[in-house]
Amino acid sequence: CAVHSRVQYSTVYNPSEKVHVKMADEAVCVGPAPTNKSYLNMDAIMDAIRATGAQAVHPGYGFLSENKEFAKRLAAEGVTFIGPDTQAIQAMGDKIESKLIAKAAKVNTIPGFDGVVKTAEEAVKIAQDIGYPVMIKASAGGGGKGMRIAWNDEETREGFRFSSQEAASSFGDDRLLIEKYIDNPRHIEIQVLADKHGNALWLNERECSIQRRNQKVVEEAPSTFLDPVTRQAMGEQAVQLARAVQYSSAGTVEFLVDSKKNFYFLEMNTRLQVEHPITECITGLDLVEQMIRVAKGYQLQHKQQDIPINGWAIETRVYAEDPYKSFGLPSIGWLSQYQEPLNLSNVRVDSGIQEGSDISIYYDPMISKLVTYGATRGEALARMEEALDNYVIRGVTHNIPLLREIITHPRFISGDINTNFLPEVYPEGFKGHQLEEDKRRELVASAVALHITAQLRSQKVLGNLRVSSTPVECNHWELCVELGERRHVADVTKSGNIYTVEVDGNKVEISGEWNLASPLLPLRINGKHRMLQCLSRDISGKIVLQYLGTSFKLRVLSKLAAELNSYMPEKVAEDTSSILRSPMPGTVVAVSVKPGDTVAEGQEICVIEAMKMQNSLTAVKQAKVKSVHCKPGETVGEGDLLIELE
């Protein structure tokens, strides 16, 4: 938060989150972890405001940031809400009303049903009238919560049920609307800024098309797709909408843009966006500072012609998620090691956690917003690649492997993206970086060099008296390396700090300053700089390396050990065809079966809610239910047994 040095900065907090508490001059605990008892508890927050004598409140990104009742209660207490007026929050916070206002303001809108959908069967009838595919979404929602795409009647019924439940859980409002889903769209939004004196600006666009489950993963500013004419048309319509609701503060008008650059109003977020830093990078404006100035009653300092596009900015959302499960299912745990890449130039990290923090099931799984800036898009992307390689996160599963693959994928680099990018590029799901032969040799050689370096250090520390009374440094080794299903023979020689590793007949040269105590391993591989991370290693030769963003398990053995290891029995993998385990930590919302029931393949068995998103778990085969090990309301961990089938 950008706060003037003479301003006393107070915060409301939960004891499990400590970074913002340390930053604040004053802190007040507002309750236990569940959001309805803390950050959504208006009474507790109002008590904190009174206790600190706060004169103004910046609501942040979520929770009560778009809640008109909260803004009204602040006004009743004479406290300034650093955001738009109540009527703008109400008008734009309701997707049905906002769409009608947008139409009246001559803003392009998507064909759809403008009323409230009350039942699943009514939803089906409306969807049939509009024509499939359709988007079912929460009227009071945002951030991808309560949104489902339906391609047929059955998916509409299911989408109605889940969207209404998620909407009620996240926003306390289960109303839904339905509109035409634009296939292969881009999600491009316009940042607006308006004051209380009738002045309004559009601060260019942000491309937010890389999404999973309707939630943004990678954003950039500006967009590779827009030309100056389309940009201006979108900006002017965004300002028309802001003026129509007498908007004052920073806000975002979101559009869907088709392949022919036709654009349609999606929604308006009457708050600061998570991705606002990339707009700050290319315009030089501090949006939080501007929000505070507007709330105080000052006029805007800039005219439309003063708003530049200087350079390019990329933001990746670093989540505590397993990217190998549906492109990111939540992960919880304790951050045993955490190091942000702030040593790099033109890198910004907005985070609310630190080493030792707990990632719980109660809040959004975002760890940080990683932002890089450059004079060109290529420069910003190169810095992002380097920043992701230098980002150290231990203790929780994270999505850095997916983020790095996205920003280095040829389609993304060329700008050929849409909101279906992830399922189109990874139709079988994300599998991590797929090693080409030269990269495979680089990884094997790096593991070998690390293994030998560790062995040589151990000899210096422990001594080598059992081998010879006269120390003789070895500089040649013959090793075997297991990587996946393949085994590689490595012939290694060492000269100074340079390892020459012959892998399957091809030579790889490894050099660098090895610090085995550091989580980062800066190497030069065949003369090219690479940043690897050693996640773990043990005396049996097992090494886990993070290379090109993805974690790889290797095992380095002597030729004799490799030969003997071939006689070891392999551990038989668990047969999961007759059991259902929880793919993530969360809360059981519903159990649809009981012992003795017969289920069909694909039939819903139970629903798990994690980080305010509901996930339907289904049977993988037709079978009879043998036993049920969970019930609604229970908290489950990743891998917990839920259902057994016969």
501-557 tens-digit pLDDT: 999 899 999 998 888 889 999 999 999 999 999 999 998 899 999 999 999 999 999
- The answer to the question of residue 465 being in a domain is no
Write down the pLDDT at residue 273. 95
Residues 626 and 508 in one domain: no
Mean pLDDT lowest for which of 134-148, 237-251, 431-445, 530-544?
Answer: 134-148
pLDDT band at 470 (very low <50, low <70, confident <90, very high): very low
- The answer to the question of residue 482 being in a domain is yes
Q: Tell me, what CATH number does 367's domain have?
A: 3.30.470.20
Write down the pLDDT at residue 144. 61
Query: Please, what is the Cα angle at 93 between 29 and 328, to 5 degrees?
Result: 70
Mean pLDDT of 329-355: 92
Residues 119 and 259 in one domain: no
Q: How far is CA 570 from CA 130, 519, 567, 627, in A?
A: 56, 31, 9, 30
Q: How buried is residue 427: exposed, middle or buried, by Cβ count under 10 Å (0-12/13-18/19+)? A: exposed
Write down the pLDDT at residue 469. 44
Residues 324 and 260 in one domain: no
Better pLDDT: 578 or 250 = 250
Residues 317 and 425 in one domain: yes
Write down the pLDDT at residue 143. 56
Mean pLDDT of 124-148: 82
Mean pLDDT lowest for which of 40-44, 307-311, 379-383?
Answer: 40-44
Sequence-separated (6 or more) residues with CB below 8 Å from residue 484: none
Q: Tell me, what CATH number does 171's domain have?
A: 3.30.1490.20
Mean pLDDT of 293-317: 97
Better pLDDT: 626 or 469 = 626
Residue 349 has pLDDT above 60, yes or no: yes
Residues 165 and 237 in one domain: no
Domain span at residue 600? Answer: 579-645
Residues 545 and 639 in one domain: no
Q: How far apart are CA 562 and CA 545, in angstroms?
A: 20
Average pLDDT, the chain: 90
Q: How far apart are CA 114 and CA 447, in angstroms?
A: 59
Residues 518 and 626 in one domain: no
Residue 1 has pLDDT above 90, yes or no: no
Q: Tell me which residue has tokens 């319509």.
A: 237
Q: Tell me, what CATH number does 493's domain have?
A: 3.30.700.30
- The answer to the question of residue 463 being in a domain is no
pLDDT band at 323 (very low <50, low <70, confident <90, very high): very high
Q: Please state the separation of Cα 424 from the chain's center in Å.
A: 19
Residues 97 and 202 in one domain: yes
pLDDT band at 462 (very low <50, low <70, confident <90, very high): low
For the chain, the maximum distance between any two Cα atoms, rounded to a whole number of angstroms, is 91
- The answer to the question of residue 508 being in a domain is yes
Q: Which residues pair with 441 in a beta bridge?
A: none
- The answer to the question of residue 154 being in a domain is yes
Among the candidates 510, 542, 566, a domain finishes at 566
Write down the pLDDT at residue 188. 98
Better pLDDT: 114 or 237 = 237
Residue 131 has pLDDT above 90, yes or no: no
- The answer to the question of residue 399 being in a domain is yes
Residues 68 and 154 in one domain: no
- The answer to the question of residue 320 being in a domain is yes
Among the candidates 542, 566, 590, a domain finishes at 566
3-class DSSP state for residue 620? coil
Q: How far apart are CA 214 and CA 298, in angstroms?
A: 36
Write down the pLDDT at residue 110. 85
- The answer to the question of residue 467 being in a domain is no
Residue 16 has pLDDT above 60, yes or no: no
Q: Following DSSP, what letter does each residue of 103-163 receive, concatenated?
A: HHTT--B--EEEEEE-SHHHHHHHHHHH-SSEEEEETT--TTTTEEEESSHHHHHHHHHHH
Residues 203 and 300 in one domain: yes
Mean pLDDT of 115-121: 87
Q: Which of 195-199, 471-475, 539-543 holds the top average pLDDT?
A: 195-199
Q: Tell me, what CATH number does 36's domain have?
A: 3.40.50.20
Among the candidates 267, 293, 310, a domain finishes at 310
Residue 64 has pLDDT above 60, yes or no: yes
Residue 405 annotated in active site: no
Residue 17 has pLDDT above 70, yes or no: no
Q: Following DSSP, what letter does each residue of 24-69 receive, concatenated?
A: SSEEEE--SSSGGGTTT-HHHHHHHHHHHT-SEE---SSTTTT-HH
Q: Please state the separation of Cα 279 from the chain's center in Å.
A: 19
Write down the pLDDT at residue 90. 92
Looking at the structure of the chain, the number of domains it has is 6
Which one is catalytic: 219, 220, 254, 267?
267
Mean pLDDT of 104-120: 87
Residues 92 and 122 in one domain: no
Q: Are 216 and 210 in contact (CB under 8 A)?
A: yes
Q: Are 30 and 45 in contact (CB under 8 A)?
A: yes
Residues 318 and 428 in one domain: yes
pLDDT band at 463 (very low <50, low <70, confident <90, very high): low
Mean pLDDT of 278-295: 98
Residue 65 has pLDDT above 60, yes or no: yes
Mean pLDDT lowest for which of 64-68, 170-174, 324-328?
Answer: 170-174
Write down the pLDDT at residue 237. 98
Residue 331 has pLDDT above 60, yes or no: yes
pLDDT band at 139 (very low <50, low <70, confident <90, very high): confident
Write down the pLDDT at residue 154. 93
Q: Which residues pair with 179 in a beta bridge?
A: 112, 135
For the stretch 125-129, contacts whose Cβ atoms lie closer than 8 Å and that sit 24 or more positions apart, written own/partner, are 126/178, 127/153, 127/156, 127/178, 128/153
Q: How far is CA 643 from CA 80, 584, 597, 607, in A?
A: 52, 15, 12, 12
Mean pLDDT lowest for which of 15-19, 100-104, 314-318?
Answer: 15-19
